[in-house]
Amino acid sequence: MTKIELVFIPSPGIGHLRPTVKLAKQLISRDDRISITFIIIPPRNDVGDVTTYIASLTTKSQDRLRYESISVVKEPPNADLEPSQVYIERKKAQVRDAVTSIQDPTRKLAGFVVDMFCSSMTDVADGFGVPCYMVYTSNATFLGMTLHVQEMYDEKKYDVSDLDESVDELVFPCLYRPYPVKCLPHILSSNEWFPFIRTLGRSFRKMKGILVDTVAELEPHALKMFESGDGDLPQVYPVGPVLDLEDGSVDEDEKGSEILRWLDVQPDKSVVFLCFGSMGGFTEEQTREIAVALDRSGHRFLWSLRRASPNIMKDRPGDFTDLEEVLPEGFLDRTSDRGKVIGWAPQAAVLAKPAIGGFVTHCGWNSMLESLWFGVPMVTWPLYAEQKVNAFEMVHELGLAVEIRKCITGDLVMVSEMETVTAEDIERATRCVMEQGSDVRKRVTEMAEKCRVALMDGGSSHLALQKFIQDVTKNVASFGFRDV
């Protein structure tokens, strides 16, 4: 039996690291021939959760799943950081040396599997004479949009970051409906970011295949774009949902345990959960609007509240020092019997609780998949990155969520231009998502079941992962790639 080695290169972000590690574990559990070595590029500065997680990984190395962390010089806290893609690209030589150092004559190197933000590592894979695959931790829809806008620019010089005001909508092959231009994410609509997206699109086309964290039954139309027989598009494997639901830190954290105990005594589907990811924070004005909405709605709530960072590229959101000064007068007293305002929240563990009836989310793809997995309908409040596209898909394409507003102006990258959403809009969306027996709730319940079936033997994601394994082993047999 030929033993094969895959080299995984994840992005330093925790939202990319966790699902990529989970996917690797699925691979080695499915085929005894496969061994995987992670070459981990640490974050540029001391990001607590990421650094701790990397340290925990490196102590868990074993024969068939190993973690090698390259060394980097940490940046000072207030340093002007170079773009992530530049930081990662500058680590090519260290990655090449690390791959060379893991030589094992009993294994054949079958390929690299890189994160979407590590696509420049295709050059390193080429140097070892092996193909490069990609893990795409967002959805098939935004993958399709990225490739389409890149193709439009390269072939027709059509620039979506510089459109005439007469253009209201754009048609994408990965969407049923036209997409409103005013809802384009900042990374597509800004002259600063669009060149980066074009570069990503070109690098994606070089991949031999792309493992997408989605489910065939969730995004059938978007996936058709990759089944059209266009030889310019890589093979896509919809292998999701790839969820890391086994984080043991909740049991060791007293605050996390207290939150879960409180949820255990609340009625089923009675609590609305508000949580906005590691980068999501709000101004004092926006915080008060949320509080007013929760006060008026009358619903039980669990609110993970963070203060907005003045520069999200340098600093993460933090906690407010005094909630009494930020929240409306008397809010905490009036809602003490039905709500909790907290900082960090064990999101997956919270969503798993029967008490949760709705989820107000920033629309990060991991968060949306977790919500669907546990059958919790969402209120979409996109804040940055591709999240406006995620929200559009969930609300208008799939009917699995309720929107706060059709298009919210601004992006956390430009926090000073972020639109303040009114209490009226937040209350309306909250009441809507908490409605029992609604069509949205029924569709979410059905999709939760489809996601579970997809991962079972013979399910669509199970078969897609098996297809990837077959393709990788076929590489070794057909081309006889050299030893590591």
With residues binned 3-state (H G I as helix, E B as strand, rest as coil), the percentages for the chain, rounded to 5, are 45, 15, 40
Strands 401-403 and 378-380: parallel
The pLDDT averaged over each successive group of 10 residues in the chain (484 residues) is 90 86 94 94 74 78 88 66 80 94 88 94 94 97 97 96 94 97 94 93 96 98 85 92 71 75 98 94 96 97 94 82 94 96 94 98 97 98 96 98 92 81 98 97 98 98 97 72 50
Is residue 164 helix, strand or coil? coil
Q: What is the mean pLDDT of the chain?
A: 91
**Are the C-beta atoms of residues 7 and 113 closer than 8 Å to each other?**
yes
Residue 198: the pLDDT is: 95
Question: Residue 215, exposed/middle/buried by CB under 10 A (0-12, 13-18, 19+)?
Answer: buried
Residue 250: the pLDDT is: 47
Q: Which two tokens stand for residue 459?
A: 């399910």
How far is residue 27's CA from residue 102's CA, in Å, rounded to a whole number? Answer: 19
Give the largest CA-CA distance in the chain: 71
φ/ψ (deg, to 5) at 384:
-165, 180
433 half-sphere exposure, CB direction, 13 A CA radius: 35
Kindly list the strands in the beta sheet with 356-361, ordered across the sheet, starting from the edge strand earlier in the chain: 339-342, 300-304, 271-275, 356-361, 378-380, 401-403
Q: Which two tokens stand for residue 291?
A: 């509080």
CA distances to 29, 78, 167, 235 from 54, in Å: 21, 23, 46, 30
Q: Which residue has the tokens 């809507």?
A: 432
| Residue ranges of domains in the chain, CATH in brackets | 3-244+458-476 (3.40.50.2000), 250-446 (3.40.50.2000)
Q: Where are the alpha helices (DSSP H) in 133-246?
A: 140-156, 186-189, 194-205, 220-224
CB atoms within 10 A of CB 269: 17
Residue 344's contacts (CB-CB under 8 Å, 6 or more residues apart) are 255, 256, 304
DSSP state of 248: T
**Are the C-beta atoms of residues 91 and 72 closer than 8 Å to each other?**
yes
CA distances to 202, 207, 341, 358, 465 from 234, in Å: 11, 6, 45, 37, 15
Kindly list the strands in the beta sheet with 3-9, ordered across the sheet, starting from the edge strand earlier in the chain: 65-69, 34-40, 3-9, 107-115, 132-136, 209-212, 235-238
Residue 350: the pLDDT is: 97
Residue 251: the pLDDT is: 45
CB atoms within 10 A of CB 217: 18
**Are the C-beta atoms of residues 355 and 349 closer than 8 Å to each other?**
no
How far is residue 142's CA from residue 64's CA, in Å, rounded to a whole number? Answer: 33
How far is residue 234's CA from residue 254's CA, in Å, rounded to a whole number? Answer: 46
CA distances to 4, 273, 376, 441 from 444, in Å: 39, 16, 7, 5
Question: Residue 57, exposed/middle/buried by CB under 10 A (0-12, 13-18, 19+)?
Answer: middle
Strands 107-115 and 3-9: parallel
How far is residue 54's CA from residue 13's CA, in Å, rounded to a whole number? Answer: 11
Is residue 335 helix, strand or coil? coil
CA distances to 58, 68, 72 from 48, in Å: 16, 19, 16
Contacts of 149-153 spanning 24+ positions with Cβ under 8 A: 149/188, 149/194, 149/197, 149/198, 149/201, 150/197, 150/198, 150/200, 150/201, 150/202, 151/201, 153/198
3-state SS, one letter per residue, for 410-431: CECCEHHHCCCCCHHHHHHHHH
Following CA atoms 404, 440, 271, 261 in sequence, which dihedral angle do they give, to the nearest 10 degrees?
A: -130
**Are the C-beta atoms of residues 7 and 112 closer than 8 Å to each other?**
yes
Task: Report which of 80, 119, 122 is spatially closest to residue 197, judged by C-alpha positions.
Answer: 119
